[in-house]
Amino acid sequence: KQLYARMIDFWRDHFNISDETDYAAELMMFEKNVLAKHALGKFRDILIASAKSPSMLMYLDNFVSSKEAPNENYARELLELHTLGVDGPYNEEDIREIARAFTGWTIHMGADDGFFFDEEMHDTGRKSILGKSFPGERGIEDGLHVLSLLARHPATARFMSAKLIRRFVADNPPQSLVASTTQVWIESDGDIKTVLRHIFNSAEFAQ
């Protein structure tokens, strides 16, 4: 239970959102449907849940992102803070293309989770992201493809492993543990329980 609570706190920090009172209801939904539900699950699942959450959509203005005016706020934060890291293998063109992929991801409080995909707002053109070609005439699949690509990227595995080690082992993560944890992350497809078990059973943690 203590570890579960610590991991909810870890993800609250990782998927940082403003706590302005205007977002109170959405933040409660974020805590329940994203952080608490996926705290010890697969990284891909919590990444998708965060992308669809009304609080994230509102905080980074993606709920108004359309094919006429793609908003890059979420795309930039997704790469810099949520997955690959600020020094990750991407460029400004990737950010612009990812912003296009997430056009139409908006909110509708009549939905169970508050998420709604608006086909009319979505840019259905072809896209090129992190060296991968995305075919045209797709809808929500564009954004889901991006999230899966990032969740399973080796740079994400290393970035997230180092961040977990920094939280639970040392401010300056031992590179030997970062390397072994990254491999476990990749092999387990980002299974948080498996990754944490590896960290806690490591010689570096014991020291």
Count Cα neighbours of 15 within 13 Å in the Cβ-side half-sphere.
26
Determine if residue 20 is left, alpha or beta; phi over 0 gives left, psi from -120 to 50 gives alpha, anything else beta: beta
Q: Are 15 and 60 in contact (CB under 8 A)?
A: no
pLDDT digits (tens, 9 = 90+) for 32-57: 999 999 999 999 999 999 999 999 99
- Spatial neighbors of 58 by CB under 8 A, at least 6 apart, are 23, 26, 107
Distance, in Å, from the CA atom of 120 to the CA atom of 165, rounded to the nearest integer, reads 43
pTM to 2 decimal places: 0.96
Structure tokens at 72: 């890059």
> Per residue in 16-44, is it b (16+ CB within 10 Å) or e — as a string?
ebeeeeebeebbebbbebbbeebbbebbb
pLDDT digits (tens, 9 = 90+) for 74-131: 999 999 999 999 999 999 999 999 999 999 999 997 888 899 999 999 999 999 999 9
